[in-house]
Copies of this chain bind each other. A is one copy, B any other.
Amino acid sequence: MSKQTILNKELPKGIGPNVSPEAFTNNKRKVFLFGSPSYTNIGDQAIAYAEEKFIRNHYPYYEYIEIMDYATDEGIQIVKEIISEDDIVCFTGGGNLGNLYLDIEEDRRKVISTFKDYKTLSFAQSVYFEETEEGDKEKKKTQDAYHQNRHLTIGTREQQTLEYVKDTFDSEVMYTPDMVLSLDIEPQELEREGVLFILREDKEKVTEEKFISELREWVEQEKGKRTERTDTVLHDMDVIDYKDREDQFMKMLNRIGSSELIVTDRLHAMIFSIITKTPCVVFGNSYGKAKHSYRDWLEALNFIEYTDQKDINKLEEMIDRLLQAEPNDIDLKQDFRPLRDYFKK
């Protein structure tokens, strides 16, 4: 498809949902975001939301064009036709670089190896390949794909991943907090009621159901507080397209900000608690995503705490402390400096 063809006909769905068609043909420097999520994980939706804000706020002179995950193959064809020498190709960040979410990893390999001659960034990730035959095989495939691209930078969001990436790939590595922490949203002043449990129901889950039941019962009986259980992955819809991203993200923030306390094993439930100034107790997942983000960046927050403690009596003291804290702020702006400098060059 030539530039002229693109000008003359409608683009396929999911190619540049955030721009008008002129964006593909003007003479601005372009930043392409591949892998823009259409699935219902609000954490990943919030990451893409924050990536767009970051580019649009700091580099309004660039054209920022998203390609939805379901349009990756068509998107690659179109971008190949219009890309210029100094454009930048990105793949969205998150916690899916590895062998647990292979459909996404396969798309990332494809994008990175196709655009091997262009400045390429994988936004900040937690990287995890299982130490199994299967995990090793997929790691090898990822190495082979990424190493074709000598202009690749791999973003990492915990020290653990930073070290792993340095050991595993020949690419440049960048280290910043999770993108959602770059947002600067004022928390709404909402009535708060009850304790919201936000818990995984996926392959990363390690918190036992028995413990969760005991904890909920204890909160209701001993603390006299209503409890509810939910997840940051929505199950009542199949797709969140670009145009619904902000509303769904706001709905989740609203729900968390209306709670007195969050109990979670989800990294982004913790981050949404930070944004909404909601006290939060965080448990781990299978490979330490939330734990390491907490330890590396967030330990100074007085209303958020990571724990592996499963003794309810000992948890009580922590929960009482979190509920009484006057939520403090931390300033991570300087920690995003590597990313800001990256896009200037």
> Could you tell me which A residues sit within 8 Å of B by CB distance?
53, 57-61, 183-189, 246, 249-250, 253-254, 340, 343-345
Contact = CB atoms under 8 A, between A and B. Distances in A.
Contact of A184 (B58, B185, B246): B58
Nearest to A249: B60
A207 to B, nearest CB: 30
B343 A57 contact: no
11 contacts: A57-B57, A57-B184, A58-B184, A58-B185, A58-B186, A59-B185, A59-B186, A61-B250, A186-B340, A186-B344, A189-B345
A335 to B, nearest CB: 15
Contacts of A246: 60
A57 B185 contact: yes
B61 A253 contact: yes
Contacts of A249: 60
A30 to B, nearest CB: 15
Contact of A60 (B57, B185, B343): B185
User: What are the nearest 4 A-B pairs in CB distance?
Assistant: A58-B186, A61-B250, A186-B344, A186-B340
Nearest to A251: B61
Contacts of A343: 186
Contacts of A187: 344
Contacts of A186: 58-59, 340, 343-344
A9 B53 CA distance: 32
A92 to B, nearest CB: 19
Nearest to A183: B57
Contact of A250 (B60, B183, B185): B60
A61 B188 CA distance: 9
A61 B275 CA distance: 13
A53 B61 contact: no
